[in-house]
Amino acid sequence: MASETGTLALVGGAEWSEGCSFDETLLEASGGTDVLVLPTASAYERPERLVVAAAEWFAGLGLGASVEGLMVLTRADAQDPDAATIVRRSRFVYLSGGSALHLRSVLKGSAVLGALREAWAAGAVVAGAGAGAVALTDPMVDPRGGALTVGLGLIEGLAVFTHYGDVAEDAHGEKLHRSVTLAPAGLPVVGLPERTALLRDPAGRWSAAGGGLPSVFVDGRAAADGVSRLQGLGP
């Protein structure tokens, strides 16, 4: 039986934009109005602009949400006890898109990742978008070619392929094909379109929300039961 945690949201990309209707639900699930954004995955791509985008998006929801950016951009930042304390005390932590490999290298085994696990276990909402979603799983999809590699492991036994269906990201579907065919037997690989969230509620139930529909692949084939195949997966 799954143990209770906070809500988890794995978002396919294009976060904080029209169609991400699930963010209102996530804010409500957090029990507060504060959102902590970690733009770690976008460390070399003007991360401050993502914090501004998140602030504008949540302000537009009309729910009185307040967004704060925590600039955990390097390994030293991720080991900072003050940064870990901020994450630990947060009720809603949102990891942005960018580079999944950079995000993993910064957070793996760090004080901030430990604090994120503690916050989620204590009931906080954790959301990862694009690279943030990819890296939170273990195994994770290697964005360089689609093979599977070691991830951060907030959720184990699941991999997600974000920007699913976006020809600019995977023009001929070759990366997705490798992810699906190289996955160990029984491991679900979920194709997540942009503006679409794969949600796990505190009781361990999985569902989908937003502008698209996730596709679940197991043993090289699309699972007929879709997201229902994930039930019971998690801590």
Tell me the HSE value of 234 on the side-chain side, using a 13 A CA sphere.
Answer: 25
Distances 154 to 33, 66, 84, 117, 136 between C-alpha atoms, Å: 24, 25, 16, 7, 5
**pLDDT tens-digit map of 113-148:** 999 999 999 999 999 999 999 999 999 999 998 899
pLDDT at 1: 42
**What is the C-alpha separation between 160 and 85, in angstroms, rounded?**
29
User: What is the band of 2 on the pLDDT scale with cuts at 50, 70, 90?
Assistant: low
In a domain, 117, yes or no: yes
Task: Answer whether residue 61 shows pLDDT above 90.
Answer: yes
**228 assigned to some structural domain:** no
- 156 phi and psi angles, rounded to 5 deg: -105, 155
Quick one: pLDDT at residue 108? 98
- Whether residue 43 lies inside any domain: the answer is yes
pLDDT over threshold 50, residue 15 = yes
Percentage of residues of the chain with pLDDT beyond 70: 97
CATH number for the domain spanning 63: value is 3.40.50.880
What's the confidence (pLDDT) of residue 184?
95
Lowest mean pLDDT among 46-60, 99-113, 154-168, 185-199: 154-168
For residue 188, whether the previous peptide bond is cis, meaning omega lies within 30 degrees of 0, is no
pLDDT above 80 (res 224): yes
Give SS3 for 194.
coil
Is 235 part of a structural domain of the chain?
A: no
230 domain-assigned: no
Q: What's the total number of domains in the chain? A: 1
Angle between helices 22-30 and 47-60 (to 10 degrees): 90
For residue 232, being part of any structural domain is answered with no
Q: Write down the mean pLDDT value for the chain.
A: 95
- Average pLDDT score over residue span 150-168: 92
Q: Is residue 16 part of a domain?
A: yes
Domain span including residue 115 = 8-223
Residue 63 DSSP SS3: coil
Question: Is residue 162 included in any domain, yes or no?
Answer: yes
Cα–Cα distance for residue pair 193/163, rounded to 1 Å: 5
- Listed in sequence order, the DSSP H helices in the chain are 22-30, 47-60, 75-78, 81-89, 100-107, 111-121, 131-136, 174-182
